[in-house]
Amino acid sequence: MRLRTVAVTAPAKVNLCLGVGPLRDGYHELATVYQAVGLYDRVTVNPAETETTTISVHGDARLSLDDVPTDETNIAFTAARLLADYCGLPADEAAVEIGIDKGIPVAGGLAGGSADAAATLVACDTLWEMHTPREDLLRLAGELGSDVPFALVGGTAIGSGRGEIVTPVMTRGDYWWVILESPVGLSTPAVYAEFDRVHAGRKVPSPGVPDALLSALRANDVEGLAAALSNDLHAPACRLRPELEQLLQDGRDESAYASILSGSGPSCLFLCEGRVHAMQVAGALGGYGAGHVSFASGPVPGARITGLEH
């Protein structure tokens, strides 16, 4: 019996380090360590009644849902079309109703759009019963965006190339993050452009992943991890949004072990000792009124099927 509905959940990511290298063909060479954390978007796909793919977006009212496109510019739409082309599906069979239930902040540096794209690939592959090999799904994911492959894989992984080459790393234990969302998003290309402006005329070296960070993850050494966190997009993002420096300092003042911008920002991350400490820091930061505060732990798995209906 044909499937009527497939639901797939995919997590947000944080970058524990983000080394940015030279610009090549419109993208920067990256050396990063991704960690998937327990904030999720849920994507549901159904065969469409007509030959047109549609997208609807739902979620918590505090998220900037109006900023999420509901037309073919949504990366989930592109993901469904890319997979349909790969599978050689005719338009009438490939048309789907995509429902996105957002739990990941929009334009926050937490890769919510990438999570939607990864979830849509898995959901459509399942709905269409294509059994696409994992390596092909990862390749299609890489075409959709630099951090879409990681949203498929989840856990903790090194990202190289432009971020799309994902190699899982061994870690022990859970890591607890307080996440301060900004009410106003920040454009990733704008932050990279600011990085280029500052480095104009200088040779940018190839980036690497610090050994200290990988050792801390292997040893479940939270303080060691706190000392090893780094983000080359911190300076350019803070030049575009100077208030971020103070927000990061506020979390350290409230006893977070370390604070770091998430990817290209503007979400701020605060590393805590464990769940209780994260609850305390989140409670304190909530009182500042700078934006919505939540907490989540990682690593968690990548995109996975959470509902099937025949």
- C-alpha–C-alpha distance, residues 178 and 198, integer Å: 30
Amino acid in the structure at residue 288: Y
The residue to which tokens 């300076």 are assigned: 235
Give the nearer residue to ligand C5P in terms of CB position, either 263 or 291: 263
Give the nearer residue to ligand C5P in terms of CB position, either 133 or 189: 189
Catalytic residue, chosen from 13, 41, 116, 125, is: 13
Largest Cα separation within the chain, whole Å, is 61
Whether the link from the prior residue into 189 is cis, omega within 30° of 0, is: no
Give the nearer residue to ligand C5P in terms of CB position, either 107 or 269: 107
Whether the link from the prior residue into 90 is cis, omega within 30° of 0, is: no
Q: Cβ distance 153 to 111 under 8 Å?
A: no
**In the complex, what is the shortest distance from the CB of residue 187 to ligand C5P, in angstroms, rounded to a whole number?**
9
**In the complex, what is the shortest distance from the CB of residue 12 to ligand C5P, in angstroms, rounded to a whole number?**
14
SS3 category, 102 = strand
**In the complex, what is the shortest distance from the CB of residue 238 to ligand C5P, in angstroms, rounded to a whole number?**
18
13 is an active site residue:
yes
List strand residue ranges (DSSP E) for 133-199, in order: 156-160, 165-168, 175-180
- C-alpha–C-alpha distance, residues 56 and 65, integer Å: 10
Residues that bind ligand C5P (CB under 6 A): 27-28, 30, 145-146, 162-163, 188-189, 192
Give the nearer residue to ligand C5P in terms of CB position, either 159 or 251: 159
**In the complex, what is the shortest distance from the CB of residue 205 to ligand C5P, in angstroms, rounded to a whole number?**
15
Q: Cβ distance 45 to 305 under 8 Å?
A: no
Give the nearer residue to ligand C5P in terms of CB position, either 28 or 42: 28
Tokens (6 digits) for 7: 């639901």
Catalytic residue, chosen from 116, 147, 232, 250, is: 147
- C-alpha–C-alpha distance, residues 96 and 127, integer Å: 10
Phi, psi of 128 (to 5 degrees): -85, 0
**In the complex, what is the shortest distance from the CB of residue 265 to ligand C5P, in angstroms, rounded to a whole number?**
13
203 is an active site residue:
no
Catalytic residues: 13, 147
